[in-house]
Amino acid sequence: MAKDAKPAEEGAEAPPKKSKKLLIIILAAVLVVVLAGGGAAFFLLKKSDHAEDEDGEVAAEQEKAPKKKAGKKEKEAPPVFLNLEPFTVNLIPETGDQYLQVILTLELDGPEGEGDLKVRMPKVRNNVTLLLSGKKASELLPKEGKEKLAENLKDEINGVIQPPAKNKKGEIIPSEGPVKAVLFTSFIIQ
């Protein structure tokens, strides 16, 4: 009988080993599912929090900025470039007649600004021509002179599209139009 009892004890030990393996596999599977669900929930909540932060920032920008900024999308749109026809003007004479031929490319903050510019192009060209013809060659030759001219041109063009306003003190506040930068494609002084 002792022999009979021994095999029964061995049989009793064998099923718990199988059930331990099965229990470990089930626990591992449950753990993987829980971790995957927690990770997915974390990323979804993080993404929605980020969207709320952007919405909060956009709302703050809308309060501070003029109406132009209110229509801005959450993501920055790629810049739009608009090539202008060449300008040829007489410069203020220093050593005889001098001419400036310049080709400009405008960097706009979005495609909506391109339509505004094209509608007002005759006035833009007029104001740019007047600004360029009021310069001396010695002012435009150094790099700093060209950079200052680009800023002046940007302000002039933005002023045509969205005229500058005056504050309570009577000081003129430059307008923030669609032109982000004025780029020189060609710059020749003769």
Sign of the alpha-carbon dihedral angle for 60, 61, 64, 68: negative
Alpha-carbon dihedral of residues 176, 179, 183, 184, nearest 10 degrees? Answer: -100
Query: Chain-wide mean pLDDT for the chain?
Result: 79
**pLDDT for residue 185:** 94
* Whether the predicted model's global pTM rises above the 0.75 cut: no
pLDDT at 40: 79
Report which of residues 116 and 172 the model is more confident about: 116
Confidence band, pLDDT 50/70/90 cuts, at residue 172: confident
For position 70, what pLDDT does the model report? 46
Structure tokens given for 167: 């504050």
Mean pLDDT of 79-96: 91
Looking at residue 60, its pLDDT comes to 47
Q: Helix axis angle, 111-119 relative to 121-133, nearest 10°? A: 80
Give mean pLDDT, residues 75-95: 86
Question: 100 and 136 in contact (C-beta within 8 Å)?
Answer: no
pLDDT band at 41 (very low <50, low <70, confident <90, very high): confident
Better-scored residue on pLDDT, 172 or 143: 143
Measured CA to CA in angstroms, residue 35 lies from 22, 100, 125, 153 at distances of 20, 69, 64, 58
- pLDDT confidence of 111, banded at 50, 70, 90? confident
Question: Measuring CA to CA, how many Å separate 86 from each of 23, 37, 79, 104?
Answer: 80, 61, 22, 7
Helix (H, G, I), strand (E, B) or coil at 30: helix
Indicate the pLDDT class of residue 107, thresholds 50, 70 and 90: very high
- Return the structure tokens found at 54: 């952007």
